[in-house]
């Protein structure tokens, strides 16, 4: 019987434990969780803050009782402080502060990521502003409780969100839903820096239409208290000029970095983005130690090794690590970076590479943007979807897709079609061969996915043909 110890109770760790029990029902699996919240959806936090999801316990993918019924032993409030690789054991500090050791036959580490914090004057440290003052990071369930307490216990009429990535724009919507006047500030020139500025501008317009003030190209440099006890944010604007905003609440969501200290101290090697290097089996190079999730590098099917922290990737990597820890032979097939976000009444999605990423990866990309309707124009309510396709000029291979459309336009379904095509190295022209569903209220005989592909081919096919003839 294998005794598997898993460090971390989020996506990667729980997926590893459940898969290990499926592969070997006799395996003894212990999951060590540093906080009190195993298997909670961090991605769902904005929807709890908005009030769309209640109570907060609903964010649990599975309860502790569910996990134990599946055969996992769960130790909450327990922190692993050291991995003894030679002795095959981990040092623990329990909820009462007591220390001890836990032995293992195999170990899976899923410590995830930590929030990055920009250098903000006046924030952090013994005398700096923090949650008690209305200044919040947002990464864990405890962070969420602190934020909701601020929103409940004080009069919050205005808020500043620092960062306009996925969580930032979702939090702008959540706070607006609660009746808070929201300002969003970020350094990049447009919101959602993971899509091209032409599409990010569409998302910004939606935010502004709902009353959100968007300060793109703006670096928040410090926070202070006003005489009235409110928060004053100092910033440098896109034109280099100084800006100030006085608000009641600040939420900082500027990205994450891999939490690798435990593995590095044990001798693991780090690579791209400071994440721990693993192979396709999720092996770290340390004997009997695997790792998965936001603390490790990601194999990307177009880029090779990169760092791309996503919940979907963590689930898949964890499943591979858990299977292999109990004798399986699974391999992580790789990511193409598929992401989607709802912002008020629009949905933005991307998969694969943008043009500058494709250039860096050695392709010769060209991009076309078009706006096919989401369904037949004669059926009421047809709305355009802005689609940008990037493909290789020499081969026609699809490299990336970005979409922005209205909520209800099945943007998520359509980006998944592109993701599947990229995963299997299809060309743009091959998209027209796909047998996709059609009914007038939901699509067209040529789906929007295919119409965008045909637009790319009309613009760039002569280049592809010329390259083929030259060969």
Residue ranges of the domains in the chain?
3-111+257-325, 131-252, 346-470
Query: Residue 444: CB partners within 8 Å, gap ≥ 6?
Result: 372, 373, 375, 376, 438, 451
Q: pTM of the entire structure?
A: 0.93
Q: Name the CATH architecture for the domain at 3-111+257-325.
A: 3-Layer(bba) Sandwich (3.50)
pLDDT of residue 118: 81
pLDDT of residue 471: 57
Domain 131-252 in the same topology as domain 3-111+257-325: yes
Task: Put the strands of the sheet holding 398-406 in their side by side order.
Answer: 339-343, 346-352, 398-406, 386-392, 365-370
Q: How many CB atoms lie within 10 A of CB 279?
A: 13
Count of residues making up the chain: 471
Which class in CATH covers the domain with range 346-470?
alpha beta
Cα gap 289→107, rounded to integer Å: 5
Do 225 and 76 meet the contact criterion of CB atoms below 8 Å apart? no
User: Cα dihedral sign for 248, 249, 254, 258?
Assistant: positive
The secondary structure element, H or E, covering residue 374 is none
Do 293 and 318 meet the contact criterion of CB atoms below 8 Å apart? yes
For the chain, 471 residues long, the average pLDDT of each consecutive 10-residue run is 95 97 97 93 94 92 92 96 98 94 98 89 79 91 95 95 96 97 95 96 98 95 89 88 92 95 98 97 98 98 95 97 97 98 98 97 96 97 98 97 97 98 97 96 97 95 60 57
Cα gap 441→450, rounded to integer Å: 17
Fill in the DSSP letter of residue 296. B
Q: How many CB atoms lie within 10 A of CB 439?
A: 10
pLDDT of residue 262: 98
Task: Put the strands of the sheet holding 231-236 in their side by side order.
Answer: 219-225, 231-236, 242-247
Residue 54 CA: distances (Å) to CA of 34, 46, 49, 147, 179: 24, 11, 9, 15, 18
Contacts within 8 Å (CB) and 24+ apart, 278-281:
278/317, 280/320, 280/331, 280/332, 281/320, 281/321, 281/324, 281/329, 281/330, 281/331, 281/332
Annotation: CATH topology of 131-252: FAD/NAD(P)-binding domain (3.50.50)
Q: Which pair of tokens denotes residue 148?
A: 């909701």
Cα gap 48→170, rounded to integer Å: 11
């Amino acid at each position: 019987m294998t005794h598997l110890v898993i460090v971390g109770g989020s996506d990667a760790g729980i997926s590893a434990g459940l898969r290990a029990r499926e592969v070997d029902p006799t395996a003894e699996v212990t999951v060590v969780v540093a906080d009190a919240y195993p298997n909670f959806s961090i991605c769902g936090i904005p929807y709890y803050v908005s009030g769309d999801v209640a109570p907060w316990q609903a964010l649990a993918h599975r309860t502790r009782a569910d996990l134990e019924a599946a055969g996992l032993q769960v130790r909450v409030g327990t922190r692993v402080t050291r991995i003894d690789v030679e002795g095959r054991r981990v040092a623990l500090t329990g909820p009462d502060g007591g220390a001890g050791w836990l032995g293992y036959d195999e170990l899976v580490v899923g410590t995830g990521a930590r929030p990055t914090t920009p250098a903000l004057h006046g924030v952090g440290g013994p005398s700096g502003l923090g949650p008690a003052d209305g200044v919040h990071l947002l990464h864990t369930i405890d962070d969420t409780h602190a934020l909701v307490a601020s929103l409940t216990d004080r009069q919050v009429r205005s808020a500043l969100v620092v960062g306009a990535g996925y969580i930032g724009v979702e939090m702008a919507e959540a706070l607006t839903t609660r009746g808070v006047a929201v300002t969003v500030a970020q350094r990049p020139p447009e919101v959602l820096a993971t899509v091209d500025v032409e599409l990010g501008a569409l998302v910004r317009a939606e935010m502004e239409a709902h009353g959100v003030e968007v300060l793109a190209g703006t670096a928040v440099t410090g926070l202070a208290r006003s005489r009235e006890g409110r928060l004053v944010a100092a910033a440098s604007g896109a034109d280099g000029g100084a800006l100030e905003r006085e608000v009641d609440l600040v939420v900082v969501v500027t990205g994450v970095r891999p939490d690798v200290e435990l593995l590095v101290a044990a001798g693991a090697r780090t690579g791209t983005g400071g994440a721990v290097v693993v192979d396709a089996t999720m092996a770290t190079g340390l004997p009997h130690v695997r790792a998965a999730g936001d603390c490790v590098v990601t194999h990307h099917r177009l880029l090779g090794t990169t760092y791309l922290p996503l919940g979907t990737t963590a689930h898949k990597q964890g499943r591979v690590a858990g299977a292999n820890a109990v004798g399986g032979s699974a391999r992580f097939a790789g990511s193409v970076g598929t992401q989607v976000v709802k912002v008020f009444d629009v949905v933005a999605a991307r998969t694969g590479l943008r043009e500058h990423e494709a250039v860096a990866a050695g392709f010769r990309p060209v991009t076309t943007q078009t706006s096919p309707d989401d369904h037949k124009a004669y059926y009421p309510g047809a709305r355009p979807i802005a689609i940008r396709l990037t493909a290789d000029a020499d081969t026609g291979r699809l490299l990336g897709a970005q979409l922005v459309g209205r909520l209800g336009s099945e943007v998520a379904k359509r980006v998944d079609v592109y993701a599947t095509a990229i995963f299997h190295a299809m060309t743009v022209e091959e998209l027209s061969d796909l047998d996709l569903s059609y009914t007038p209220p939901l699509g067209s005989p040529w789906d929007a996915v295919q119409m965008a592909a045909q637009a790319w081919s009309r613009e760039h096919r002569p280049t592809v043909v010329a390259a083929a003839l030259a060969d």
